[in-house]
Amino acid sequence: MRGLSLINVGMLILLAALVMVFVYPANNPDPAKNPDPAATVQHGTETSDHPSDHAVPSDQATDHAFQVNPGPAVSEKTPLKEVAETVKGAPAVVKSADDSAATPSDTTTTDSVAASGKKSPVEPLKFPHWPKPRLSLIVTGEQLGYFEPCGCTANQLGGMSRRADLFKKVSGLGWEVRGIDAGSVSRRSVRQAQIKFETMLTAMRELKYVSIGMGPEELRLDPSYLISQHAADEPDSLAFVSANLTFFGIADLGTPLPYRIVEHDGLKIGITSILGATRKKEVLPERSPEEEAAADIQWLDPITSLESVLKKFEEENVTFRILLSQALIDETRSLAEKFPSFDLIVTAPSFGDGNREPEMAGSVRILQVGAQGKHAGVVGIYPDDAENRVRFELVTMSADHFQSSPRMAELMQSYQTRLKEDKIALVENAIVHPSGATFVGADKCGECHTTAFEIWKNTPHAHGFESLDPAHQRTGYERLEGVSRTHDPECLSCHVTGWDPQEFVRFQTGFINEEFAATPEEKSLHTLLAGNQCENCHGPGSRHIELIEAGKDKEAAAEVRVTLEQSKKEGCVKCHDGENSPKFSFDEYWKKVEHYGKD
């Protein structure tokens, strides 16, 4: 029997070799004939010496070049089951730098795979194996202010840095590529949001974006400001586009443009955008005709506006038509039925992380690419291919496939420098804490609560401010790519004491950067309140101390008492939310910071 098994193995190995010769020819494999070979993406390993489960990605010195993987090697020691799977064309395993099976991509299934102790292949990218398109597009939307992921946690998706690498990889295939964005690039309308918006526009212009739709988030930035940021003089320059929005009642003002036409290799791409009736209500109030005429922003009927644009497309002999739809999905579907001449509609807001496959409304493809830059759509246009005129892949922007971009790190540094120079942390006036009390600092708390204080000092919370500066080399500092965030309100709000972590606003007597302090008392706040301290959970301690000194111990305890249930439901999640701490589990994290009352 042993001899017979060896013969079987030998025959299977020979069969596998023959399949390899015919399925993966050695000289220039034809992607059109082999449409779904697996792609090998090499990446670094991940380690952690932190008491939490935050792994540190080694994204810096990795090789993410696309390679066709002919499948796992077969040897005499390969189990018969694995040989059979190879012969059947089973998906190839992606190998890491040390030639061991790589960890899975950071999708929603990663945690369960990691918990089982088993490693899983990363989903290979498909678009590198498409035939060369006449023109390729990278489709995004709903960035919502996420130039980069928060950075506090490993394995987060998204970021302009990885997106830049996606553009680089597509261009590296010899394809001509442009970017289009459905809009909702920004999230807030304060000065910090404007600076970030300008940084994103710089990045998108360098990546050859040609159009951005106007969503509610853009309109909250104010039309005068948008006009100042819109420069669309060149044929392929980045344009703000909307068919049914007019600023200051001037239709030919030039911002936004009703449409944009991009030409390449005899192909004319027409791109337009609308703001739907439901999304309009998010930002524009109901007004009388007289008020509408005098308003800074006029909203027009989408149907009438698109009819006008499509006539222009006909006159210009546009061969491929795209609609960026800032509308709810049912409104978008209605537009697809009304205007079947569109080839693509990109709709926002999306459901969750977008759709892997286009939704078909007749011959119109409706794309949802998800929010916060976690995913991007790659579109290939093949006008001469009657069966596959359009190819689409929704790509997950993870470290498994994409490395960081030095240029995007430069832009992040520029952004952080502007925040510091403009003293953005002080632009909005500090607000009074709802309790009316003031902050005293953890050292003061530790005079009585010595055990709790000693426990806190040995938690990552105590070093929250240090973790914003890569110079301190706290666990995960590589994710900062050498750029300090110590003057960024969106980071300070969870890494120091005395800020509102949801509104990114400083409370009076809360932490202030030393160089911004106007008095010796303010300077002391930098030292006293660095890190995530007791008072972020228990509230500012001044009144608690006053009650203790007055002998009112019960009232003092009630002033700062927080139950575990309160912490679980409404406390910790203010910072450990789904975006900044996607793996957060109160029960598990509490074990690492559990502390006790007065000694």
**Beta strands 135-140 and 375-381: pairing type?**
antiparallel
- Examine the domain organization and report whether 10 and 72 are in the same domain: yes
Q: Collapsing DSSP states into helix, strand and coil, what is residue 149?
A: coil
Q: How confident is the model at residue 66 (pLDDT cuts 50, 70, 90)?
A: very low
Same domain, 446 and 381: no
Does some domain include residue 482?
yes
Dist. CA 482–CA 500, nearest whole Å:
26
Query: How many domains are contained in the chain?
Result: 3
From 23-32, 86-95, 290-299, 412-421, the region with the lowest mean pLDDT: 86-95
Domain identity same for 200 and 110: no
Residue 65 lies in a domain: yes
φ, ψ for residue 567 (rounded to 5)? -60, -40
Structural domain includes residue 143: no
CB of 242 closer than 8 Å to CB of 256 = yes
CATH number of the domain residue 319 falls in: 3.60.21.10
Structure token pair of residue 52 = 């939490």
Where does a domain end: 116, 142, 172?
Answer: 116
Measured CA to CA, the distance from residue 305 to residue 257 in angstroms comes to 12
Q: List the structure tokens of 216.
A: 């509610």
The answer to whether 133 touches 391, Cβ cutoff 8 Å, is yes
Q: How far is CA 381 from CA 43, 320, 511, in A?
A: 30, 9, 53
The residue-averaged pLDDT of 93-101 equals 30
Average pLDDT of the chain is 82
Instruction: Determine the Cα angle at 502 with ends 537 and 473, to 5°.
Output: 75
Q: Which of 397, 432, 464 is the last residue of a domain?
A: 397
Check whether residue 484 and residue 391 sit in a common domain.
no
Q: Are residues 427 and 532 in the same domain?
A: yes
Model pLDDT, residue 102: 30
In a domain? residue 431: yes
CB 16 within 8 A of CB 70: no
With a CB cutoff of 8 Å and minimum separation 6, the contacts of 539 are 433, 435, 437, 559, 560
Q: Compute CA 508 distance to the chain's CA centroid, rounded to the nearest angstrom.
A: 32
Specify whether 589 is located in the same domain as 441.
Answer: yes
**Statement to judge: residues 211 and 343 lie in one domain:** yes
Residue 285, domain member (yes or no): yes
Using the predicted structure, report yes or no on whether residue 262 has a pLDDT greater than 70.
yes
Q: How far apart are CA 434 and CA 412, in angstroms?
A: 34
42 lies in some domain: yes
Q: Which domain holds residue 45?
A: 2-116
Q: What is the pLDDT of residue 154?
A: 79
| Residues 14 and 112 occupy one common structural domain | yes
User: CA Rg, the chain, in Å?
Assistant: 28
The answer to whether residues 202 and 347 belong to one domain is yes
Could you report the per-residue pLDDT of 396-412, keeping only the tens digit for each? 999 999 999 999 999 99
Return d(Cα 68, Cα 70) in angstroms, integer: 6
The yes-or-no verdict on residue 41 having pLDDT over 60 is no
- Which tokens belong to 425? 């942390």
370, 517: one domain: no
Helix (H, G, I), strand (E, B) or coil at 209: strand
Report if residue 139 sits inside a domain.
no
pLDDT at 254 > cutoff 70? yes
Say if residue 368 is in the same domain as residue 433: no
Weakest-pLDDT range from 112-126, 212-226, 311-325, 520-534: 112-126
Rounded Cα distance between 103 and 359, Å, is 31
Maximum mean pLDDT: which of 28-37, 97-106, 569-578: 569-578
CATH number of the domain bearing residue 509: 1.10.1130
Residue 121 pLDDT class (50, 70, 90 cuts): low
The residue among 397, 414, 446 that closes a domain is 397
Query: Residue type for 21, please?
Result: V
Share of the chain above pLDDT 90, in %: 66
Structure confidence at residue 278 (pLDDT): 95
Position 232 pLDDT exceeds 90: no
Task: Determine the distance from the C-alpha atom of residue 557 to the mean position of all C-alpha atoms in its chain, rounded to a whole number.
Answer: 42
Helix (H) or strand (E) holding 379: strand 375-381
> Is 74 inside any structural domain?
yes
- Residue 38: φ, ψ to 5°: -75, 150
Asked whether residue 197 falls in the same domain as residue 336, the answer is yes
